[in-house]
Chain A
Amino acid sequence: MSGAEKVHVLPRAADLGLIGCHVCRLVCRQPPEDADDMACPRCGSALHRRKPATYTRTWALLLAAFMMYLPANFLPIMRTASLNDVDDNTILSGVKELWINGSADLAIIVFVASIMVPMLKFLVLVTLLISSHMRTDWAQPQRARLYRLVEFIGYWSMLDVFVVALLSALVRFNVLSRVEPLPGVIFFGLTVVLTMLASMSFDPRLIWDSRDSDD
């Protein structure tokens, strides 16, 4: 088996009987068996070898996020009303409007932040969950890099939410011109929060727990 050659040259915490605190990163000696509720001597947080219930939590949060993501994209997020015109904007129509009005660069930024990033997060986290569950050593460095990418860009999706909040507070010229938030923006905000929670509850250490490193 080719996996036999990929021996971990570097020791992992479990091999040395060590455990790292997930909160303050203190290196502790691994508690004796069945002592799973040991607390970190420095910060008092519970010590875990892996984040607790990582698969269940991540899947559940991801599913909830996806259920919010659909209305977030199909429902309008903002209503612009002027004297003789009422217009409901979805995320996509907002991007189109920026594009038409000659701000192609911002249109691309908003498109990436609001539409591409959440989709990327779903795809990446599902891939990570399934591949880690299979305990494969396939593309480990790449998967680790994808996880970091998702962690790093995730919160930028809040962009559109802040745009709607600012425009609603600014455009208040009574009957002449008004902007109001619509329910889509709430679903969108919840999508962002839930995907952030999902990626936080996924434990990237699982990527490296392939079968041959354990045996």
Chain B
Amino acid sequence: MSTTSLEALQICEECDTVHRRRAMTRGEVGKCACCGATLEHFHSLNPNTMLALVFTAFIVFVQANLWPIVTLGLNGRHSSTTLWGAIITMWQSSAQVIAVLAAATLFFFPLVKMLSIGWLLWFARQRRCAPGFVPIMVTLHYIGPWTMSEVFVLGALVAIVKAKVYFDVVADPGIYAYAVLTVLITIFARVDMRELWDMRMKDSA
């Protein structure tokens, strides 16, 4: 085998089967013939579109964190909370573990994910390799499974239903912002990280 042929190959992450890479057509998903794992899906990584998407997600993220999520009413008194309100409450009620978990999976990791992808794309747009490319990509690989915004949206729904029995409940803009954010995150979670890695290979070559 020559050196060039290595780039034409890919190894299934779940069963170690070696496959030849091939051009994907729109909407196509490449599956491992041995174990059925997804090898790669078609993604026309247009840095400009993706960057616009990341920027939108960032604005929605800020709003989702600033705006209250739910308001409760009881005998004319009202109480509302934001994500950080919930995190701080957990910290003060001696459930610091939960406060840290929530802050990481609902705030810091999604934030880091958005900022890093934005940073990488900003340079990719100019056909340059972003400073700190390798550590950023490795970080993205490790925090990937630890963002849980979509679980939080469902959790807010359950909390609303539970509270409805005893209180007047109003869903606030924050929860809608969260729902939109979840959709945006799912879209750019589909960015094939390998495409970014390959882009760098081309640059350095």
Give the A-B pair count, Cβ closer than 8 A. 208
Chain B 71-104, CB within 8 Å of chain A: the 1/0 string?
0101101011100011111100101011001100
Nearest-neighbour CB distance to chain B for A128, whole angstroms, equals 12
A165 interface neighbour in B11, B80, B90, B163, Cβ under 8 Å = B90
Chain A residues, CB < 8 A from B124: none
**Main SS of the interface on chain A?**
helix
A181 interface neighbour in B34, B95, B105, B167, Cβ under 8 Å = B95
Known contacts A14-B16, A173-B79, A205-B16; A165 and B141 CB within 8 A of each other: no
CB of A106 within 8 A of chain B? yes
CB of B154 within 8 A of chain A? yes
Q: How far is the CA of A126 from the CA of B57 in the complex (A)?
A: 39
CB distance A196 to B145 under 8 Å? yes
Chain B 120-160, CB within 8 Å of chain A: the 1/0 string?
00000000000000100110010001101001101111110
Nearest-neighbour CB distance to chain A for B149, whole angstroms, equals 10
Closest 8 CB pairs of A and B: A162-B155, A20-B11, A169-B81, A169-B89, A169-B86, A166-B159, A144-B35, A204-B14
CB distance B18 to A13 under 8 Å? yes
Closest B residue to A193 using CB positions: B101
Write the residues of chain A forming the contact surface with B, with a CB cutoff of 8 angstroms. Answer: 8, 10-16, 18-20, 22-29, 42-45, 94, 97-98, 101, 103, 106, 109-110, 140-141, 144-145, 147-148, 151, 155-156, 158-173, 176-177, 180-181, 185-186, 189-190, 193, 196, 200, 204-205, 207-208
Known contacts A155-B151, A169-B86; A22 and B101 CB within 8 A of each other: no
